[in-house]
A and B are shown apart, each in its own frame.
Chain A
């Protein structure tokens, strides 16, 4: 596949890095130095120029491209670039935007601005935060098969019920499959005898209900309560959407924003939230407003340092769980090491979403574990699929090692995959595979 990526920022680079192995990738970038960096760092062709100019796009060979991804930091540039591409080519266009207004416009027709697929950074990040917060102890959550199946990644708390148990002991749920254990850098495919240790990361696939139940056994004792109260810090678009999504779920929201005008705006747009105009690092204020009573604090300030400070302060005061957005990807691990429970990078979220979408030519839906260590893939089983009409035990013998069948949905109903389950044509199979076998797997199925 010939893919043109416009904009070599963090998102563009990350997508290019995900696609360059099996695709022809051309990156259009205005900054010549970035072009050079990318040429040396990745197996891609870089074109130096303006992504909204027809000449540059023609030079990049857009006319023959299968897909064009506009991923610059500027919404309008991305939209204009996609429109320009549509004027001269048949390529599938993907645009990244921040403003939800554009997303709303695009959703009206799904073709507005000449864009075939639009991803909204702020909304995606907010949705991802809300999904993670909903499950205690979860680091990542992705829906499959129209929401009938959920994949979740947990960090096992040392004081949780499952720490020290074998997988067979921990597996008390009918519709849940243990797909993998991530211990340090290794991806372990668990058997019944594998012992779960504290600080292991567990990938499970199952029905949303069973995943939720499992979440409460894997989380540490004081995180196991349901989330009833959330504090959002920072009046960014992401923060606003986080608050809005929680409001929709009847979770009570308190919002801390320092700027008076923005605070007023938020208060007007979020009728059920309590908006407080103050500095989220003011300890007196945090104590006076009993911020410690909150179950979760989500920090969405503009600066990584302030986010870290807000999270650590509130954690010290007694907030159950903290989530922070992180602008610079290398900080993610650092944040989680020093005590922020979940760090989420909006750029990584978008890059993942776009990569996931580009893979959907072969699979229905894809989730990336730890950004590249493993994949969870959803496949619709066709009449001529090697899986159709056989039991899982038989199929597995023909497939690469370490592939796990996590869940099956048949006519919208959840089917727990066991060795003797016969897969039928039309079933949706959600499978887990480590990165090195994932590519081959999608090709075979």
Chain B
């Protein structure tokens, strides 16, 4: 059996991405200089990524014609793994306490680049500020997924870049923005930077106006990185709970925007509001946010001892719902003490996700909307067997093959999540860790769907540190596979991929 994948093309792409990652490491280096902290860990990571990147580029090939779907799948899968590995280097070398252990560092780094936000950090105060900033920056880089990282690659790849984009199905609408892919990538990338700067500005403005005295410039930058990218790391141990109500409402806004389709945002900023009005997915997404917030609010009200009727309860309900649906994972309070009904609603919301073409993870509103519409159609055709009814989205018919793909994908998510949960329970039992079924389900969903916090042991103000080493590795894999939307990794595992 000969290898049918042109691995040298994938190696070339991988090399180029790692070389660019070196540049990103300049941010924590500057921060380390500013705060007078150790430079070594970041310089070491930069050296690793530069050396590996350059040598991969040397052995790799660099011609667009050879980037077929196989090469793209391989490259995409490996890019995330490689960044997670390089990203872990500063944690190992510069982290304080347990985070310096390799499996902790890899977990944290993978959680960062996949925008999950599940953390193993317990002692926030002991960590260098530059390290926590690197942690946030990893999430920001992972926010736009492959696009933000591979812009440089796309530029050189030209035609082949489309293959690379297709595997990142999150950006399914993106290539409609301009005829040339690289221009679209630049627009989306620019928009992302603009939104991030805007978030920093908003947070600092709240500080200046006196509404957020605890918001330091450092906090503003770190939180802007992880809120607009809907990823959820916070350098504060009590997450968004450390800030004033005004900041929390601001986060609700930023998370909602981050999980909105960037193409829609682009048109909105360009003054074209009709697109957002026409978008069925946007309406569905907003309706889910509003409906679920109202539901959680109502559940809290009817359960004695869970907050009075008022702004505070409403804020916590809305914040938690938005944070989970957008897969951010910030928390304003420890919702694990909430009534079971509210917690179950949050658990179910983990599977929703924001809009396709945004920074969000999980199943995504688009897929659920298609599934709901297809289901409604199937009910209709049960009564009228001859009826031909295309599933429509924003007035446009959805291809039947796409509907099938969406069903299959969603089923894969459910199966993968259950498998993960079972393995976590078994592994916890092996070492004698007290992990309830609900906690296991929560942790599996939270890592596989890239949300971050879960319930109980892995609650919003706790960490994943107590999980056994094998569970951490398992969840690292879950985050990786989940962020890639399963398929690219599964493709690599099929025999057909490796044969002609």
Contact = CB atoms under 8 A, between A and B. Distances in A.
Contact of B395 (A271, A274, A276, A278): A271
A267 B386 contact: no
B392 interface: yes
B387 A264 contact: no
Given A268-B397, A271-B395, A276 B390 contact: no
B384 interface: yes
A274 B384 contact: yes
A277 interface: yes
A267 B384 contact: no
B388 A277 contact: yes
Contact of B390 (A268, A277, A278, A285): A268
B403 to A, nearest CB: 13
A277 B386 contact: yes
A289 interface: yes
Interface in A265-316: 266-268, 271, 274-278, 285, 289
B448 to A, nearest CB: 35
A267 B388 contact: yes
Interface residues of B, number: 9
A260 B386 CA distance: 10
Contacts of A278: 386
A445 B397 CA distance: 55
A274 B397 CA distance: 14
Contact of B384 (A260, A266, A271, A289): A289
A275 B388 contact: yes
A275 B395 contact: no
B401 to A, nearest CB: 12
A228 B427 CA distance: 65
B273 interface: no
A275 B389 contact: yes
B387 A276 contact: yes
A275 B392 contact: no
Nearest to A285: B386
B388 A276 contact: yes
Contacts of A274: 384, 387, 389
A263 interface: yes
Contacts of A266: 388
Interface in A227-259: none
Contact of B388 (A263, A285, A289): A263
A173 to B, nearest CB: 42
A275 B384 CA distance: 10
A445 B498 CA distance: 86
Contacts of B384: 274, 276, 289
Interface residues of A, number: 14
A275 B387 contact: yes
A218 B160 CA distance: 70
A260 B390 CA distance: 12
Contact of B386 (A264, A268, A289): A289
A275 B380 CA distance: 12
Interface in B405-430: none
B130 to A, nearest CB: 55
Interface string B369-397: 00000000000000010111110100101
A277 B386 CA distance: 5
A267 B388 CA distance: 6
A267 B381 CA distance: 13
A266 B389 CA distance: 10
A166 to B, nearest CB: 50
A276 B397 contact: no
Interface in B275-305: none
B392 A276 contact: no
A266 B390 CA distance: 10
A239 to B, nearest CB: 14
A271 B390 CA distance: 9
Nearest to A276: B386
B443 to A, nearest CB: 43
Nearest to B395: A271
A13 B390 CA distance: 43
B388 A264 contact: yes
B282 to A, nearest CB: 19
Q: Which of B384, B387, B389 counts the most A-chain CB atoms under 10 A from its CB?
A: B387
B388 A271 contact: no
A119 to B, nearest CB: 31
Contacts of B389: 267, 274-275
Contacts of B386: 276-278, 285, 289
A52 to B, nearest CB: 36
Nearest to A264: B388
A275 B397 CA distance: 14
Q: Which of A260, A266, A275 counts the most B-chain CB atoms under 10 A from its CB?
A: A275
A375 B386 CA distance: 46
Contacts of B395: 271
Contacts of A268: 390, 397
Interface in A148-173: none
B396 to A, nearest CB: 9
Contacts of B387: 274-277
A275 B388 CA distance: 5
Nearest to A266: B388
A254 to B, nearest CB: 9
A234 to B, nearest CB: 15
Contacts of A275: 387-389
Contacts of A289: 384, 386
Contacts of A260: 388
Nearest to A269: B397
A263 B389 CA distance: 9
A280 to B, nearest CB: 11
B429 to A, nearest CB: 52
Nearest to B396: A268
A275 B386 CA distance: 8
A199 B390 CA distance: 45
A146 to B, nearest CB: 32
24 contacts: A260-B388, A263-B388, A264-B388, A267-B388, A267-B389, A267-B390, A267-B397, A268-B397, A271-B392, A274-B384, A274-B387, A274-B389, A275-B388, A276-B384, A276-B386, A276-B387, A276-B388, A277-B386, A277-B387, A277-B388, A278-B386, A285-B386, A289-B384, A289-B386
Interface of A: 260, 263-264, 266-268, 271, 274-278, 285, 289
Given A268-B397, A289-B384, A289-B386, 16 more contacts: A260-B388, A263-B388, A264-B390, A267-B389, A267-B390, A267-B397, A271-B392, A274-B384, A275-B388, A275-B389, A276-B384, A276-B386, A276-B387, A277-B386, A277-B388, A285-B386
Q: Which 4 A-B pairs have the closest CB atoms?
A: A268-B397, A276-B386, A278-B386, A275-B388
